[in-house]
Amino acid sequence: MKVAFLVGTEGVEQVELTEPWKAVADAGHTPELVSTDSGRVQAYNHLDKADTFPVDRTAGEARPDDFGALVLPGGVANPDALRLDEDAVAFAKGFFDQGKPVAAICHAPWTLVEADVLRGRTLTSWPSLRTDITNAGGTWVDEPVKVCTSGPNTLITSRKPDDLKAFCEAFLDVFAR
């Protein structure tokens, strides 16, 4: 199965991209990097620049039909940039419209707030998103990982890099179904 990783051109938390990417590839799936622009994306280790990664397709070119699942890595600047890009928001929303699984960690649910897909859903995130998630109709919980099936698709969320092992295990379990 092809799995889309949607990120902005700058600000993705590197470990929240690379660890899930490796987990997806190790499970026999094909990860693909989708971003708002072509070229390369600049990852960060918190506030410090880290590595860059090549973009496979832009959000304007990619279609949810081409993928079996979506992973949204975090970082503060990354989802904030994504939520301002109409193509990126529409791409993420398309996975919900098609009932495909979505996994989001840390600040990544900001993109889902913008896509208006959290009503009636229970999820976790970095704690500062609690009010945004609640205002978007979701229920926020403080758990390492939350798998929510009360909607058109399965939504897997996690709080922070320390939760990556549980996050990857949870979304791989869902992707295998």
Question: Which residues are part of the catalytic machinery?
Answer: 106-107
Residues linked to residue 9 through DSSP beta bridges, in sequence order: none
Cβ burial, residue 90 (10 Å; 0-12/13-18/19+): middle
> What is the per-residue DSSP string for the chain?
-EEEEEE-SEEEEHHHHHHHHHHHHHTT-EEEEEESSSSEEEEEETTEEEEEEE-SEETTT--GGG-SEEEE---SHHHHHHTT-HHHHHHHHHHHHTT--EEEETTTHHHHHHHT--TT-EE---GGGHHHHHHTT-EE---SEEEE-SSSS-EEEE-SGGGHHHHHHHHHHHHT-
